[in-house]
C-alpha cells in the first residue's frame, strides 16, 4: 500500500482493522461498541477502534490546520495513536497538509531519541519525581523541534528545566 511503507516493523499494522474502521466509520461510539461486542472483537483491537473514534476529529483538525504547528505538537498528537488509527486517518483525509505532517511524524519525529537519562538529571541536582518525566518530555520535544541536537545541548536544556521545575514547585 502507499502508506504501508511508512510503518516500521516495530509497529506492525493489522490492515483488517483499518478496513473494519472504514466499514464502521459512520457509526457513533455506542453503535461501534455494540458492533464490536456482536463480532466478538478482541479487547486490544476494540481499544484501538475506540481510540480512533475518540481522537479522529481532534487529530484531523490539528493536522489539517493551515497555521504552522511545531513538530513536537504533531508528535504529541500522533504518538499515542495505534498504527491502524493513524493509517485510517491518513486514508480518510484527502488533505495534503495532514498527510505530510503524518508522514513527517512516521519518517522523522517518531524515531527521535534523547541521550539524557535519569542518572544525568540526578547529577544535575534534580530529585526523582514528577519533574523527571516533565524534564525528559520537554527535552525530547525540544530535540524534535530542532532546538537541541547534542547530548551537551540536552544537558544544558535539562539544567534550565530543572531550575524552572524547582522554582514552580517552591511553595512558601
pLDDT in tens, the chain (172 residues): 444 455 444 457 889 999 999 999 999 999 999 999 999 999 999 999 998 899 888 998 998 889 999 999 999 999 999 989 988 888 887 788 888 998 899 899 989 999 999 899 999 988 888 888 899 999 999 999 999 999 999 999 999 998 888 776 644 4
Q: For residue 93, what pLDDT is reported?
A: 79
Q: For residue 96, what pLDDT is reported?
A: 87
Query: Whose CA is closest to 45, among 29, 55, 56, 33?
Result: 33
Q: For residue 17, what pLDDT is reported?
A: 94
Q: What is the pTM assigned to this prediction?
A: 0.81
Q: Determine phi and psi for 128, rounding to 5 degrees.
A: -55, 140
Q: For residue 159, what pLDDT is reported?
A: 92
Q: Determine phi and psi for 148, rounding to 5 degrees.
A: -135, 155
The total number of residues written for the chain in this structure: 172
Q: For residue 10, what pLDDT is reported?
A: 45
- Which grid cell is 123? 547529577
- Which grid cell is 62? 490539528
Q: Is 125 helix (H, G, I), strand (E, B) or coil?
A: coil
Amino acid at each position: 500500500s502507499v502508506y504501508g511503507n511508512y510503518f516500521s516493523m516495530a509497529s506492525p499494522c493489522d490492515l483488517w482493522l483499518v478496513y473494519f474502521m472504514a466499514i464502521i466509520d459512520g457509526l457513533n461510539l455506542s453503535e461501534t461498541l455494540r458492533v464490536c461486542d456482536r463480532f466478538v472483537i478482541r479487547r486490544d483491537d476494540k481499544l484501538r477502534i475506540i481510540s480512533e473514534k475518540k481522537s479522529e476529529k481532534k487529530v484531523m483538525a490539528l493536522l489539517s490546520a493551515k497555521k504552522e504547528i511545531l513538530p513536537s505538537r504533531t508528535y504529541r498528537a500522533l504518538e499515542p495513536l495505534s498504527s491502524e488509527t493513524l493509517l485510517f486517518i491518513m486514508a480518510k483525509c484527502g488533505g495534503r497538509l495532514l498527510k505530510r505532517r503524518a508522514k513527517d511524524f512516521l519518517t522523522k519525529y517518531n524515531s527521535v531519541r534523547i541521550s539524557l537519562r535519569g542518572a544525568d538529571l540526578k547529577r544535575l541536582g534534580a530529585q526523582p519525581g514528577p519533574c523527571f518525566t516533565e524534564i525528559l518530555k520537554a527535552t525530547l520535544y525540544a530535540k524534535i523541534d530542532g532546538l537541541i541536537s547534542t547530548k551537551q545541548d540536552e544537558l544544558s536544556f535539562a539544567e534550565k528545566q530543572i531550575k524552572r521545575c524547582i522554582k514552580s514547585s517552591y511553595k512558601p
